[in-house]
Structure 1
Amino acid sequence: MTHPLPAPIAGYIEEDNAGGDTARWFAENAEVRDDGSTHRGREAIAAWKRAAHAAYDYRSAVTGVEPGEVEGQHIVTCHVTGSFPGGEVMLRYRFTLDDGLIARLEIAP
């Protein structure tokens, strides 16, 4: 890793790997964009994660961290393995932090 992993991002990844409550790491009005869908607000984010965990058994391993183009942004590359088609994928998570919480997350290959 070339850039330190901030606590809210580390907490999100650890909680996600455990199948836990990742929504607590997000701001109340946060936004997540993943797989063509947008989820706004903590409740919608929690529902998105519950559905993902119900559909797939997966784990993410961080392979890289770098700063983004704007302040508070961190790009985290993860090797994701699980019970989805193909069984593994490299994903880029573009986190934007605000006031110690995740304000925005975009996930893309």
Structure 2
Amino acid sequence: MDTNAPDAALPPTIRAFLAAHAARQVDAAARAFSSSPTSPPVVVDDGHTYRGTEEVRHFLRDAGGQYTYTTELVGAERVDDTRWVAVNRIEGDFPGKVAELRFRFTLVDDRIAELVIAP
């Protein structure tokens, strides 16, 4: 895992998504996802799966909304030609106060087709 300038290991689509998601800019974050009707985007977070554009927008709008927190990208790596992992340190007023979450991305045609968020 690259910890020296971790964002350099990520493609622009993922960097843009992470910045928009951290700033809670739903429309900008949603633009990073695939909009293909034959291959709708998928997000898996906290035991829930969100499929399709509307469910992904719901996730982006509501995820962590009950808490105040900051996000710091602390690691990133390219897995292969379509998959990347970004590790974010989250600090805030949620139970536990600090967490490191792995954001596993799959890109198709330079858009996020799948995002799995896990500890």
TM-score normalised per structure 1:
0.89
Long gaps (5+) in structure 1? none
Report which of the two structures shows the higher radius of gyration computed on alpha carbons: 2
RMSD of Structure 2 on Structure 1 (CA): 1.5
Check conservation: 2:10, 2:78, Cα contact below 8 A: no
CA contact (8 A) 2:9 2:78 kept: no
The residue type equivalent to 1:12 in the other structure is: F
- Deviant stretches of 4+, over 3 Å: none
Asked if 1:81 corresponds to 2:102, the answer is no
User: How many pairs does the alignment contain?
Assistant: 108
SS in 1 for 2:101: strand
Aligned to 1:26: 33
- Structure 2 residue 103 is matched with structure 1 residue 90: no
Is there any run of 5+ residues in structure 2 with no aligned partner, and where? none
Distance in 1 (alpha carbons) for counterparts of 2:30 and 2:58: 9
Answer whether contact 1:19 1:53 (CA < 8 A) is retained.
no
Alpha-carbon distance in structure 1 between the residues aligned to 2:67 and 2:52 = 23
Q: Deviations over 1:40-74 (max 9, x none)?
A: 11211111121125322223211111122x43100
Q: Distance in 1 between matches of 2:81 and 2:61?
A: 30
**Displacement after TM superposition at 1:75 (Å):** 0.8
> Which residue among 79, 82, 86 is the counterpart of 1:72?
82
Aligned counterparts, 1:1-109, within 5 A: 1=2, 4-21=9-26, 22-28=29-35, 29-68=40-79, 70-109=80-119
User: How many percent of aligned residue pairs carry the same amino acid?
Assistant: 35
Q: Could you state the TM-score of these two structures normalised by the residue count of structure 2?
A: 0.82
Greater strand proportion? 1
